[in-house]
Amino acid sequence: MGSRSDIAPPPRARPERGLRLWIVPIGLKQALPWTEALAAQLRSVFGGEVIVAPAPFGLEASFDPQRGQYNALELLERLLALPGSQRLLGIVEVDLFIPMLTYVFGQAQLNGRGAILSSYRLDNTIYGLARDDRLRAARIAKEAIHELGHALGLVHCRDPDCVMHSSLYVEEIDLKSAALCACCRRRLREVPTE
Ligand SMILES: [Zn+2]
Ligand SMILES: [Zn+2]
């Protein structure tokens, strides 16, 4: 925590020039039932405009038959090839990997245009536990905010409560909050959104 100045900081990170963000479900005929709630949550954290716009491409080309998973880097590349100046958050329900890791919850282009997120390992049922839609939604929101934070130039944060704290396991996602710490909020305000 930095020292308090006599002028109270705004309650949320709200970039001067509003963020224009598309949530882009990939490999689905229609948006997932939870995407609108996610859009509202991202709007409240980052400000600006958030809309849901399904991808014009599918998942097939990103499937790795040897691993039985989908290549996050390849998908991210296809996502970033979409025209326009808006930021992009790709969302899939399949398991993602990057070549050096067994799996990833998501992947972002640091200081870039976009990020991708998988809901697959955020679901209790794949760990043999009872289904919990509220917990899943909370995890999805945290990871979406985390990956977008990277895309907006934020790096991993040492504050264990901060959403930018890194999480390798799903339990670690549950331990942190969905909020940016004061430090990360301050840094985010300095990031140009265009
Ligand atoms: Zn991260
Ligand atoms: Zn932080």
* Model pLDDT for residues 34-67, shown as the tens digit of each residue: 898 999 999 999 989 999 999 999 999 999 999 9
Distance 153 CA to ligand 1 centre (A): 11
- Report pLDDT digits (tens) over 73-130: 999 999 999 999 899 999 999 999 999 999 999 999 888 899 999 999 999 999 999 9
Three-class secondary structure of residue 90 per DSSP: strand
Ligand nearest to the CA of 149: 1
**Predicted pLDDT at 118:** 96
Mean pLDDT, all residues of the chain: 89
Among residues 38, 57, 63, the alpha carbon closest in space to that of 148 is found at 38
Task: Give the Å distance between the CA of 51 and the centre of ligand 1.
Answer: 23
Q: How far is the CA of 67 from the centre of ligand 1 (A)?
A: 23
Q: Is the predicted pLDDT of residue 11 greater than 90, yes or no?
A: no
* Whether pLDDT at 2 is above 70: no
Residue 147: per-residue pLDDT: 94
C-alpha of residue 54 to centroid of ligand 2, in Å: 31
Q: Which ligand gives the minimal distance to the CA of 161?
A: 2
For the CA of 162, the nearest ligand: 2
Residue 86 is which amino acid?
Answer: Q
Lowest pLDDT segment from 24-33, 74-83, 129-138, 149-158: 24-33
Residue 178 alpha carbon to ligand 2 centre in Å? 11
Determine whether 149 is exposed, middle or buried from the number of CB atoms within 10 Å of its CB (0-12, 13-18, 19+). buried
Query: What average pLDDT does range 170-184 have in this prediction?
Result: 96
Quick one: what percent of the chain has pLDDT higher than 90? 77
3 state DSSP class of 122: helix
For residue 60, indicate whether it is catalytic.
no
From the list 49, 147, 171, 194, the catalytic residue is 147
CB atoms within 10 A of CB 51: 14
- The distance of Cα 28 from the centroid of its chain, to the nearest Å, equals 18
- Work out whether the CA dihedral 137, 142, 148, 151 comes out positive or negative: negative
Count other C-beta atoms under 10 Å from residue 183's C-beta: 16
